[in-house]
Amino acid sequence: MRVELAYTDRAGCRLAASFPRQFFGRTERAQLAAGDASSVAITVTIARDGANYRGELVLAETGEPPAQRELTGASCEEVIAALGLIAAVFVDPNARTEAKLPDEPAPNAPTGLPPERRDASRWWFGATVDATLDSAVAPELVPGVAVGFEALVERRSVLSPLFSLSLRRTATGHASASGGVAALQATLMRSSACPLRLPGTGPLAARPCVFLDAGAVHAVGTNTTLPAERTSAWLAPGVSLRAELLLLGHLVVSAEGGAAFPLLRQGYYFDPLRPESRAFYVPSVAGTARLGVGGRF
């Protein structure tokens, strides 16, 4: 029986190296499809599940609805061995319960391992909700909330880029000066690119990122003799470091901190002719941070 193998290894288990041994080592009936049509497509996924490992097996036979199996084990080896046995029995009811040892390769086992996907370039998409802090909008740290969308390429490599787009609204920050109090609030869109993932596999990773914030800051003068409002454009590139933890294969908890470099540095005055009436001047470098949770599919 011709079979096609594909993998998604989200736990650093060397799935592409281990699964063929556990599968082909149990049956002589299966043959790896080499460019010709396969009769069974086998997709194997493994991910961390807390302190354990969760495996998923999808078996799609030509002309039949796919069958799916899931299991959890304490180690990579335990889960991969169980998945290999299930797949072997699917294609050969007389498959061995124990795989041949690595130094006793099955006669039909491929000499070269199948590519780690088409798997090596799997796209994931997700949504996030973040709590944020910014020091550029007002003299004080201003909290906020952001919602976003992200897309990432998963490879067994540090070159696994992530791209995100988020909309952020800050709380109102306040700046006082002679003549009144300025209330400042920002609405910003952030586009980010994080080209690297360190390390290339595993549930915990760090990503260096670059970003661009664009939007507007709305200022309202209060406690002053001539109240006024003003909206100013905002544009600020920046750099950051993002840490993320993948849970249950789909849930992501992330934290990010970095620096923004505002290009449009506005000053907020109650009386432009009186320097002491300046409430706030946008700094050349400002801090930015966020803590978020999201899902990937």
Bridge partners of 52?
49
Give the pLDDT confidence of 223-259 residue by residue, as tens digits: 877 788 889 999 999 999 999 998 887 899 999 999 9
Give the pLDDT confidence of 55-95 residue by residue, as tens digits: 999 988 877 888 899 999 999 999 999 999 999 999 889 88
User: What percent of the chain clears pLDDT 90, i.e. is strictly above it?
Assistant: 49
Protein fold of 2-91: Double Stranded RNA Binding Domain (3.30.160)
Q: How far apart are CA 90 and CA 275, in angstroms?
A: 80
At residue 104, the pLDDT reads 45
Q: How far apart are CA 95 and CA 90, in angstroms?
A: 9
Outline which parts of the chain fall under CATH 3.30.160.100: 2-91
Give the pLDDT confidence of 125-179 residue by residue, as tens digits: 999 999 999 999 999 999 999 999 999 988 768 899 999 999 999 999 988 888 7
Protein fold of 122-296: Porin (2.40.160)
Outline which parts of the chain fall under CATH 2.40.160.20: 122-296
At residue 144, the pLDDT reads 97
- Write down the pTM of the prediction: 0.62
The tally of CA atoms less than 13 A away on the side-chain side of residue 117 is 21
